Amino acid sequence: MGENKFPRGFLWGGATSSQQIEGATREDGRGKSIWDTFAAIEGNIEDGSTPEVACDHYHRWREDIDLMSGLNLGAYRFSIAWPRVLPNGSGQVNSTGLDFYDALVDKLLEAGIQPFPTLYHWDLPQSLQDQGGWASREIIARFVEYSQAVTRRLGDRVQNWVTHNEPWCIATLGHEEGCHAPGHKNPTESLAVAHHLLLSHGHAVQSIRQEVPGAQVGIVNIHCPAHPLTLSPDDLNAARWFDGFFNRWYLDPIFKGKYPEDVIEDRRAAGHLTSGELPFVKDGDMAIISTHLDFLGLNYYSRSVQQKGPDGNPLPHIPVPENELTDMGWEVFPEGLYDSLKRVHHDYNPPQIYIMENGAAYDDPISPDGSIKDDRRITYYQQHLLAAQRALLEGVPLKGYFAWSLLDNFEWGLGFAKKFGLFAMDKTTGNRIPKNSAYWYGNVAATNTVDAPHL
């Protein structure tokens, strides 16, 4: 492997999700999702936008695959909208909804692009939320039913499957902080939600393997290294707390079959649990959650610097002024990707790892010559890829990298104001406009080499 060269067969991909790009939320029998509901409530989405049209990918998907071919991509990570497949969450399958993914998969394969579908990237059917959503144990059977409907249709062509995207975000942002759908602020509920997500993941892994012989199955977790602001015992404890709450609460059950004791104690001390027992865990659950995986998808954006706050609890996030921040307010910290890969490999040893999301939000204008000079995004990608390559050279079984995101899209509670795309989208025409980072990334994929950007 040359200095900046990646191994032969390394997969270069782009990533998106259904609710963020598809639009067509009322077409062809699609049911309502919790994000349709959440976005319709005034004040929930910072720029007042909704995902009703989004990037209109539901109609422009052929063109979007052509964009990926133009970038020499070998893989595409997208998600399937549960409400398109089962408009009521369960029961009658909407075959027109599945037709969309069927055609998408065929065209991807024709273009030599491996499909990496994610079953759940946050767009729960509203009717299931009305029955308790992820807080109810009933949802597990519904998720398996949904995963069967999808794998029975696509499993003859799709080998790589992801169950959930970022359970931490679903549990914490959606059920503890309330800034994501369904907008609940209930820490006790969020713990049950996390457990039901993990348990539904374990059941779905088993079901996917039954339906798709030879399937490669994984889950995608967001990973965020926690660093203490100072080496004081309080700050060190704050960093331990954050790491437990964000990373280990998900990785320990999946790979070790148990929840971390220190986090259980943190939650009990905070009053989120009445005792050191987890009331939602039943006999046999942990064995199902820790069903062997073929790969772990790791999403990385930034680190978190932790400090004990005035009330004794860790402060949520300390920006480090000397480092650059992206438009999300997230510190650019490429070493954190190297550390995350090494840590996950060392502590959990998944057989294969894919970086399933990595990227940066920056808003760069269209220049008079029509180009979008997003140099900061190119530098971000370059530095993170070099950090990933360093981990690879040191033995981490990293198999591929998916840039987040192919297109500027609906960035959840922040609407369309935060732009992660390799392609921008003209608001009026919906036309895709390549940014300079798209050309740069296309060259990385073509040469399997991370060149220094010429800025």
Tokens at 101, concatenated: 């993914």
SS3 314: strand
Indicate whether 79 belongs to the interface with ligand IFM (CB under 6 A): no
Interface positions, 136-175, toward ligand IFM (CB under 6 A): 166
Contact indicator for 88, 30 with CB cutoff of 8 Å: no
* Total of chain residues touching ligand IFM, rule CB under 6 A: 7
- Give Dmax (Cα) for the chain: 64
Residue 395 C-beta: closest distance to ligand IFM, Å = 27
> Do 10 and 352 touch, CB atoms closer than 8 A?
no
Residue 423 in the binding site for ligand IFM (CB under 6 A): no
| The pair of three-digit structure tokens given for residue 23, joined into one six-digit string | 């639009």
Site for ligand IFM, residues 9 to 38, rule: CB under 6 A: 17, 20
Among 243, 357, 374, 408, binds ligand IFM (CB under 6 A): 357
Residues with a known catalytic role: 166, 357
- Judge contact between 314 and 306, C-beta under 8 A: yes
Nearer to ligand IFM, 331 or 411 (CB): 411
> Residue 183: left (phi > 0), alpha (psi -120 to 50), or beta?
left
Q: Which of residues 287-346 bind ligand IFM (CB under 6 A)?
A: 299
Retrieve residue 376's tokens.
């900061």
The residue from 100, 116, 404, 423 that contacts ligand IFM (CB under 6 A) is 404
Residue (166 or 339) nearer to ligand IFM, CB: 166
- Cα→Cα distances 195→114, 152, 339, Å: 31, 26, 27
Binder among 189, 374, 408, 411 for ligand IFM (CB under 6 A): 411
380 forms part of the interface with ligand IFM (CB under 6 A): no
Whether the CB-CB separation of 400 and 348 falls below 8 Å is answered with no
Q: In terms of CB distance, is 17 or 188 closer to ligand IFM?
A: 17
Does residue 247 belong to the site contacting ligand IFM (CB under 6 A)? Answer: no
CB 72 within 8 A of CB 161: no
Question: Is residue 312 exposed (0-12), middle (13-18) or buried (19+ Cβ within 10 Å)?
Answer: exposed
**Minimum separation from the CB atom of position 372 to ligand IFM (A):** 19
The SS3 assignment for 202 reads helix
Q: Given the complex with ligand IFM, which of 354 and 404 has the nearer CB atom?
A: 404
In the complex with ligand IFM, the residue whose CB is nearer, 22 or 357, is 357
Contacting residues toward ligand IFM, per CB under 6 A: 17, 20, 166, 299, 357, 404, 411
